[in-house]
Structure 1
């Protein structure tokens, strides 16, 4: 019986994508449901403490913090550089795992990658991006 149904139904090229589309529809339905249901099932007793901004357990005040209260821009630049170089180094892991399968092509590619990262590192170092003062 199943063979007759499969023979009667024409096969389209989109059949492999049906589960993917179903997953996207399910994810979108869950997102919409979560946003719509949050006000209905969420807490309804608001007070001043719940509506105030949360500052890591420190009571927020309109007075400036001693020392200016602002973080220097160099802190954020250093954090971004760390993330940049850290993510680039993560790309070395697949090479380490498959180095014997890649052969000479893999060696050339990883040398080019390390050279590119090295040039970026030298540029940041030369521009003073790694200075802590």
Structure 2
């Protein structure tokens, strides 16, 4: 029993050590010679023109959020579809309720105009 936890501990230690070790070593071994040219902001190799801070429209975030929601929906639907034969009628009812809630949310967002691009 303890050996199972030992493997988990070794794996966790390796998962923490492997990414951090190169970062720590590079911080000590690299040359550190900052110059004004190295510290300047650039855009595709050219000097930046105008303000560096750019604000994005909120609609982009709404589309990203809608994508994440429906992407997670497929994550829930796929295992259900694979195991549908073993789950029975109750699982079908649960999935219909799940899809109904998502559909109601989509219709609400559509009616509110949250899915309008411009």
Same fold by TM-score, threshold 0.5 exceeded? Answer: yes
1:11-22 → structure 2 map (5 Å cutoff): 13-22=1-10
Q: Where does residue 81 of structure 2 map in the other structure?
A: 96
One of 4, 17, 20 as aligned partner of 1:32? 20
1:3-39 Cα shifts (integer Å, max 9, x gaps): xxxxxxxxxx544211001111222222432231122
Q: State the alpha-carbon separation in 2 of the partners of residues 55 and 35 from structure 1.
A: 26
Query: Over alpha carbons, which structure has the higher Rg?
Result: 1
Determine if the alignment matches structure 1 residue 59 to structure 2 residue 59.
no
Aligned residues: 117
1:76-87 → structure 2 map (5 Å cutoff): 76-87=61-72
Q: Which 5+ residue runs of structure 1 have no aligned equivalent?
A: 1-12
With structure 1 as the length reference, what TM-score do the two structures score?
0.69
Structure 2 contact 62–114 (Cα < 8 Å) conserved: yes
Distance 1:108 1:19, change over 3 A: same
Q: CA deviation at 1:41?
A: 4.1
Q: State the alpha-carbon separation in 2 of the partners of residues 58 and 85 from structure 1.
A: 39
Q: CA deviation at 1:51?
A: 2.8
Deviation >4 Å, runs of 4+ = 43-49
Q: What secondary structure is seen at the aligned counterpart in 2 of 1:130?
A: coil
Highest RCO, 1 vs 2 (Cα 8 Å, sep ≥ 6):
2
Distance 1:93 1:42, change over 3 A: farther
Q: Which 5+ residue runs of structure 2 have no aligned equivalent?
A: none
